[in-house]
Amino acid sequence: AQTVTQSQPEMSVQEAETVTLSCTYDTSESDYYLFWYKQPPSRQMILVIRQEAYKQQNATENRFSVNFQKAAKSFSLKISDSQLGDAAMYFCAYDGTQGGSEKLVFGKGMKLTVNP
């Protein structure tokens, strides 16, 4: 079964600075999707960024970018120019494409605090 590990339960960053959130996963599949979701205090799950495993190019969405290392099974999220609104729980998630599995597998999440 696939597993997703977020080893840092909490991090903090100064406003306008850059922070990197780490995520590793375990799978035997060669093709899959990886996601970062943001969960603010409202508890809504908001998609931040998505990466297809077959693409070597790292995904970027404005201030958010990933460092996808397929061989190392690592998928970190970099937030540049951090803003107060970035404060939230961040979840890394895995979606396989084989074996009939049709679900997101989430990590435990990481709480990001942004200090003014």
Partner 1 sequence: EPEVTQTPSHQVTQMGQEVILRCVPISNHLYFYWYRQILGQKVEFLVSFYNNEISEKSEIFDDQFSVERPDGSNFTLKIRSTKLEDSAMYFCASNLGRGWDGYTFGSGTRLTVV
Could you list the residues that contact partner 1 (CB under 8 A)? 32-33, 35, 37, 42-47, 50, 52, 91, 93, 95, 97, 100-109
CB of 42 to partner 1, least distance (A): 7
Residue closer to partner 1, measured from CB, 43 or 85: 43
Q: Considering the complex, what minimum distance in angstroms separates the CB of residue 39 from partner 1?
A: 8
User: Which CB sits closer to partner 1, 28 or 102?
Assistant: 102
Looking up tokens 């970018």, which residue turns up?
65
Judged by beta carbon, residue 62 or residue 116, the one nearer partner 1 is 62
Give the Cα separation of 67 and 79 in Å (integer).
11
List, in order, residues 6 or more apart from 102 with CB less than 8 Å away. Answer: none
> What is the DSSP-derived secondary structure letter of residue 115?
E
Backbone phi and psi for residue 85, each to the nearest 5 degrees, phi listed first:
-70, -10
Comparing CB distances to partner 1, the nearer of 18 and 90 is 90
Output the smallest distance, CB 49 to partner 1, in A: 9
DSSP string, 36-58: EEEE-TT---EEEEEEETT--SP
Q: Which two tokens stand for residue 22?
A: 């780490």
Min separation Cβ 112 and partner 1, Å: 16
